[in-house]
Structure 1
Amino acid sequence: MSSRQRGNFNYKLAFKLFSSFFFLSAIMDVLAEANGIFALNLLKTLGKDNSKNVFFSPMSMSCALAMVYMGAKGNTAAQMAQVLSFNKSGGGGDIHQGFQSLLTEVNKTGTQYLLRMANRLFGEKSCDFLSSFRDSCQKFYQAEMEELDFISAVEKSRKHINTWVAEKTEGKIAELLSPGSVDPLTRLVLVNAVYFKGNWNEQFDKENTEERLFKVSKNEEKPVQMMFKQSTFKKTYIGEIFTQILVLPYVGKELNMIIMLPDETTDLRTVEKELTYEKFVEWTRLDMMDEEEVEVSLPRFKLEESYDMESVLCSLGMTDAFELGKADFSGMSQTDLSLSKVVHKSFVEVNEEGTEAAAATAAIMMMRCARFFPRFCADHPFLFFIQHSKTNGILFCGRFSSP
């Protein structure tokens, strides 16, 4: 090969690599937007009862439903694309390639946080699932399409699913499917479970944690273990909704917790009502936030939430998938199929833990001369989001309303 040919070859290779990177970057942006819109729609739907805590993983749910979408056709596919906001990208194979890259990035090993996302489809063994669909689940979603005997071994199938989920979530989610949740008419079960635990980039000192009152409402207060930290954080104030926004990075700064805390005179429902994906992006831009020394008070909490998603997804417009006779999953199987169950369970624990190095830095900061610091006191209901920095994907959404 001549030097000119080598030059052309290198140029073509570089162009191909650049084009591939640009394409994946563009589809990841589209996916982040689709996931974000879906996340906020779910937050508003799951959180209609303002007094309840909410916690779920929109990314895990969107990812698992995308597997089902891969086998959907016609109106079933159109409804799913609408609810999941996949129609923004044209809803084609690009979506699945995007999820392939996203899962590789999010589930990578060697991180300084613990994240377990378990997605799997369980199908009735008498239904003949297409090999092309099985292969695509494995290729794009690192997930298997597993056949079970729902007709004659219901309880065994239920326990098998629960055991699989428990193994994938460090034992934190042990009983995903309750007795009676599947029956001999079950044909297809979509399961997604999430377990997350991350250490703060700078820890809260356990010695500073003390019992304080959390204002659940104007008329109700409950005791919480309130953590305290004085350090430099990114924060901003959105006058439009009278709300402070604080960014708490996890160790390694690959993930952040974003907390939206309205003023005490502002109802959290007002914030939720005004929140759109466009505003979320605008309000949480790190380069537009101030970095300042802040006194942060945050309750220590643990949430474990479980949702039967059928009614929620139907209310958002995804109705055909659950109705035999209307559901079209001909890209999955030639048997008439409908989605029998979508169950989502999630677990989060927020406490003082951090790294020793960060604790040393914090100790030095605490030795500065005493002066006034802005306060961020989360002693009343707030929203929180856990975001993956590199992809801008919202991994988790939550509302802490009551201890």
Structure 2
Amino acid sequence: MMRVFYVVLLLGFVAGCGDSDTTTPPVQQQPEPAGYQYSQSSVARQLVPELTAAEFDQLIQDNTEFALALYQWQAERRDNVFFSPLSISLTMAMSFAGARQQTATEMASALRFRLPDSKLHSGLNKVLLHFDDVSAGEHPMSLQLNQASWLEQTTTLLPTYLDQLALYYGAGVYQTDFIQQPEQARQAINQWVAEQTQDKINELLPEGSVSPDTRLALLNTIYFQANWAQPFAPESTEAASFYQLSGSSEQVPMMRQTAIRAGYSEGAGYQAMRLPYANPNFSMLLLLPAEGNFNAFEQQLTTARLDAIRAELSEHLVDLEMPKFELNQQLNLTSALQDFGMQEAFQADVADFSGISDSMSLFIGGVVHQAVIAVDEFGTEAAAATGITFEVTSMPPLAELALNRPFIYLIEEHETGAIVFMGRVLAP
């Protein structure tokens, strides 16, 4: 019996996809949820992304590097890990489009956005357009990606920013009342997310994440459902031992299939297999470190090594044992992004998002992500959503101070608390 030690699922970008100049995602004519005003720039969607093949390859490499870095960050803090690098990168890129100066520099470094801005957004647009094409192909599957923003109804965004949302992401804005009804707005956003993810993610924005100071929320959702190219027979699924890193084991439902035609390789300290879906554009890459080698393998999993593993795959007939599993993971990305060097974006009165609005001093109040997956004998169902809330610096209460009588004053050094000068004014 093959010992199944660990399964790592990597969801990333599809490399080598071609341009699409014949289809475009439909603009919502009556967007849900009903009752909220929706608007979108009249700028047409870019149907032929303007970047070279080399620039697109660079985008894929950069985003893979970010995905692996975020995987490693989570692996240090939790047991199971599951997230959508694509959802996170798309949502962060929409906010990055409005960042300026040091805020933009820090975001680019943290997110591994190394291409010039227009090339970055064109590249992500190319991914979106490609996904629209492959999901509409001859092999049945469900793949839905949606972007939207929610704006406080009394505020406005720069037309140039709205143009970018429409040009590269096919996105517009809903208007809502964050100031007087923040909880109702939060629930409406969560309802929108639930609808886009087939009710797999029902509360992306937790209680307290939306306040009267919220002015803008950027959202991305992904829903994925696909059957295996060679489904497992349910009658072959039996309880079997799953061996944990601690050395203990537990009984889990283990699926079994013999002679799967798939890409497979064995390397120093690992086995790898590309398990195909019925839609040949998608597969699940399974990486099984040798017993006792998991930590070392995981720590050395870089973009270069992942590319090398992929290159070694060749067609085999594989007998596979694989556990059925379901995961629901929530991730507060604020800490991760700050650890990656993205500091200014979260600081009131310091963050520079003047490319979004020139009438508000915006900063990021929080970045949340949730991803769910269910793997069984027939295929995979997965969903993910990412949300970014932007706050505005609150105006302090109005007070009055009239120095029209004697007063005392001190000049202090704040870090040490030293009083450098002190005096009083009895008669100016």
TM-score bin (small chain): 0.7 to 0.9
Regions of 4+ moved over 4 Å: none
What amino acid is the match of 1:328? D
What is aligned with 1:60? 87
User: For residues 365-384 of structure 1, what are the structure 2 equivalents within 5 Å?
Assistant: none
Please, what TM-score do these two structures have when normalized by structure 2?
A: 0.73
Q: Is the 8 A contact 2:49 2:122 kept in 1?
A: no
What is aligned with 1:339? 364
What is aligned with 2:396? none
Distance 1:54 1:100 in 2: 27
What is aligned with 2:316? 292
User: For residues 2-401 of structure 1, what are the structure 2 equivalents within 5 Å?
Assistant: 23-49=51-77, 52-87=79-114, 89=115, 91-108=116-133, 109-111=135-137, 112-231=140-259, 232-239=261-268, 242-266=269-293, 268-285=294-311, 288-334=312-358, 335-353=360-378
C-alpha displacement of 1:171: 1.4
SS in 2 for 1:247: strand
Q: Is the 8 A contact 1:193 1:345 kept in 2?
A: no
Larger Rg: 2
Q: Which runs of 5+ in 1 are unaligned?
A: 1-19, 355-383, 387-394, 397-403
What amino acid is the match of 1:329? F
Task: Supply the RMSD in Å over aligned alpha carbons.
Answer: 2.2
Distance 2:150 2:296 in 1: 40
C-alpha displacement of 1:21: 8.5
**Percent of aligned positions with the same letter in both sequences?**
33
1:214-239 C-alpha deviation (Å, 9 max, x unpaired): 11233422221100111222111221
Q: Is the 8 A contact 1:247 1:256 kept in 2?
A: yes
What amino acid is the match of 1:283? I
- Give the stretch that moved more between structures: 244-253 or 122-131: 122-131
SS in 1 for 2:211: coil
CA spacing shift, 1:75–1:155, aligned 2, 3 Å? same
Distance 1:216 1:147 in 2: 48
Q: Which runs of 5+ in 2 are unaligned?
A: 1-47, 386-428
Higher helix share: 1
What amino acid is the match of 1:311? S
Distance 2:351 2:236 in 1: 56
1:294-334 C-alpha deviation (Å, 9 max, x unpaired): 21000011112111211111111111111111111111101
1:15-63 C-alpha deviation (Å, 9 max, x unpaired): xxxxx8994423321211111011001101122135x111111011101
Distance 1:106 1:293 in 2: 29
Q: Larger relative contact order (C-alpha < 8 A, sep ≥ 6)?
A: 1
Q: Is the 8 A contact 1:187 1:340 kept in 2?
A: no
CA spacing shift, 1:296–1:76, aligned 2, 3 Å? same
SS in 2 for 1:333: coil
C-alpha displacement of 1:122: 2.5
Please, what TM-score do these two structures have when normalized by structure 1?
A: 0.77
Distance 1:187 1:341 in 2: 12
SS in 2 for 1:189: strand
CA spacing shift, 1:144–1:22, aligned 2, 3 Å? closer
C-alpha displacement of 1:346: 1.3
